[in-house]
Amino acid sequence: QQPVQSPQAVILREGEDAVINCSSSKALYSVHWYRQKHGEAPVFLMILLKGGEQKGHEKISASFNEKKQQSSLYLTASQLSYSGTYFCGTGSGGYNKLIFGAGTRLAVHP
Amino acid sequence: DVKVTQSSRYLVKRTGEKVFLECVQDMDHENMFWYRQDPGLGLRLIYFSYDVKMKEKGDIPEGYSVSREKKERFSLILESASTNQTSMYLCASSPPSGLGRQETQYFGPGTRLLVL
């Protein structure tokens, strides 16, 4: 079942912070976060594994709450380059197969 | 750097045509995936392959088939294109996962297909 991302869209000024959530109704083994800019391929940001938390990219970090089956992506002191659509992909362990959420559109303005 | 390439960025086809979308990766990855991406729906898995000649259906395989004759190449085939297959198609590859290890997927630039 597709994970639910919230919010669907966010508008920020440069320097502001944002949180994007990803919730699943199934037990999660891993959560993968990607950012996609318009017309480009999704780019991997970070992966969070059950039982751990991993910070992988710029000023972006994330958490993984196993009990709530939820992951949150934290973007601090946003930059114009953070604009794009953020996707979470949830993994159950087999073949690195992921189920992606519908995405959160983030726009950062000067 | 991992490189995943797709044969076309844009493609226009007519209803009923057979359409081939090609994907090539240069990192010797075992796993390869085909997704379609539609506004508001995110990325939905069509098919994936975990080895040469091995394939499994994803969430929306109807109207599609795949071929993997060589490790580096994974083809998506629309047997008889229909207008509801107009979409962005993304290919991805990943190394195999292992005990306690999950690997990420690396995406190609996508093929935007329009079926008239």
Average pLDDT, chain B: 92
Higher pLDDT, A48 or B76: B76
What percent of chain B is modeled with pLDDT above 90?
Answer: 79
What percent of chain B is modeled with pLDDT above 70?
Answer: 93
Q: What is the mean pLDDT of residues B25-49?
A: 93
Query: In which band, very low, low, confident or very high, does the pLDDT at A10 lie, cut at 50, 70 and 90?
Result: very high
B105 with A47: Cβ contact below 8 A: no
Determine the Cα–Cα distance for residues A70 and A64; give it in Å rounded to an integer: 6
Looking at the complex, report in whole angstroms how far the Cα of residue B64 sits from the nearest Cα belonging to chain A.
18
Give the pLDDT confidence score for residue A84 in this predicted structure. 96
Q: In this complex, is the C-beta atom of B46 within 8 Å of any C-beta atom belonging to chain A?
A: no
pLDDT of A14-32, one tens digit each? Answer: 999 999 999 998 888 889 9
Residue A83 has pLDDT above 90, yes or no: yes
A47 with B41: Cβ contact below 8 A: no
Q: What is the mean pLDDT of residues B48-74?
A: 94
A93 with B102: Cβ contact below 8 A: yes
B42 with A94: Cβ contact below 8 A: no
Closest to A104 measured CA to CA, from A19, A34, A7, A14: A7
Q: In this complex, is the C-beta atom of B27 within 8 Å of any C-beta atom belonging to chain A?
A: no
Contact predicate B65/B79, CB 8 Å: yes
Closest chain A residue by Cα to residue B34: A97
Q: In this complex, is the C-beta atom of B110 within 8 Å of any C-beta atom belonging to chain A?
A: yes
Neighbours of A15 (CB within 10 A): 11
Burial B61-82 (b: 16+ CB within 10 A, else e): eeebebbbeeebebbbebeebe
Query: In which band, very low, low, confident or very high, does the pLDDT at B104 lie, cut at 50, 70 and 90?
Result: confident
B50 with A95: Cβ contact below 8 A: yes
pLDDT of B73-100, one tens digit each? Answer: 999 999 999 999 999 999 999 987 765 5
Q: What is the mean pLDDT of residues A4-15?
A: 96
Closest chain B residue by Cα to residue A3: B42
Determine the Cα–Cα distance for residues A69 and A35; give it in Å rounded to an integer: 21
pLDDT of A50-66, one tens digit each? Answer: 766 655 566 888 988 88
| Tokens 């991302």 sit on residue | A5
Choice among A65-74, B13-22, B82-91 with the minimum mean pLDDT: A65-74
Contact predicate B87/B44, CB 8 Å: no
* Dihedral (Cα; B99, A90, A64, B101), 10-degree rounding: 20
Higher pLDDT, A27 or B42: B42
